[in-house]
Amino acid sequence: MTRRRWIADEVTGNTAALVGEHAAHLARVLRAEVGQEFDIATGDEVRRGTITTISCDRVEFALDAKPYRGPRPMPFAGPKITLALAIFKFDRMEWAIEKCTEIGVARIIPVIARRSDAHLAAAAVKRHERWQRIARQAAEQSRRPAPPEIAAPVKLKDLAGEGVLPAGALTRVVLAESLAGSEENTRLGEVLQSRSIAEEVALAVGPEGGWASGELAWFYESGWVAASLGDTILRAETAAIVATALALDALR
């Protein structure tokens, strides 16, 4: 039977711990007991952990000295995908965050776009911690060794700021609905197939209704390449998941 995986909040030598709500879920909801064993991801490896102490807000583990070598290789060691995801209706956006995490996205940057609802944009900063928690839970469920980074929300003009996107060689692709069905339609797969397998990719997915024309102009001026996902118009959350999956498959 496959042991459940947890991503440690604290690691010191051969001990690890879950804290806060993370620990409460294991202690109260799953009713864990001292002596139970789980796979514990410590950031760069996975080790078998045995529960030594439990309280309502802290669960501690004794870790085996050697990393756990399961039947599957450590996942997500390939190309790194950064998803610049325009802010849209929170329930659907959070579903996209969860599924893109399971697929293997490395980083998600919530972007306040012109067509993002003003109330959602204002509430996005307070939602950041929840998005991080959703990503961590999805990473544990999909047996990733670590969750993706969920950046703080930024305005589109700040996406080009220092430290927002990963440094180094980066292919930047903006999904543009205006290309769908046109003679100039360039598919995402076509853009990425000629790229190096070691290259990092940034994907920009707009809100419902897509990026505004002025925003697309900004992307083009900033060196982003436009592409589409085909002749049909997808919902924002669907586009994010499909684009992430296609990019990972094209670059592996």
Which has more confidence, 232 or 10? 10
Examine the pLDDT at 172 and tell me if it is beyond 70: yes
Examine the pLDDT at 151 and tell me if it is beyond 50: yes
With contact defined as beta carbons under 8 Å apart, do 82 and 182 qualify?
no
Give pLDDT, residue 192: 83
- Residue 223: partners with Cβ closer than 8 Å, 6 or more residues away: 172
Two domains, one topology: 5-67 and 81-251: no
Instruction: Tell me the HSE value of 73 on the side-chain side, using a 13 A CA sphere.
Output: 4
For the chain, the domains span 5-67, 81-251
Strand runs labelled E in 68-144: 81-86, 107-112
List Cα–Cα distances, 203 to 32, 52, 112, 157, in angstroms.
Answer: 40, 43, 15, 16
Strand runs labelled E in 87-167: 107-112, 149-150, 154-155
Examine the pLDDT at 238 and tell me if it is beyond 70: yes
**Distance of alpha carbon 13 from alpha carbon 44, whole angstroms:** 13
Q: What is the pLDDT of residues 63-90, one digit of tens each?
A: 998 776 554 444 445 578 999 999 999 9
**Distance of alpha carbon 26 from alpha carbon 66, whole angstroms:** 24
- Considering the domain 5-67, what is its CATH architecture? Beta Barrel (2.40)
Instruction: Tell me the HSE value of 250 on the side-chain side, using a 13 A CA sphere.
Output: 21
Top-level CATH class of 81-251? alpha beta
Give pLDDT, residue 126: 94
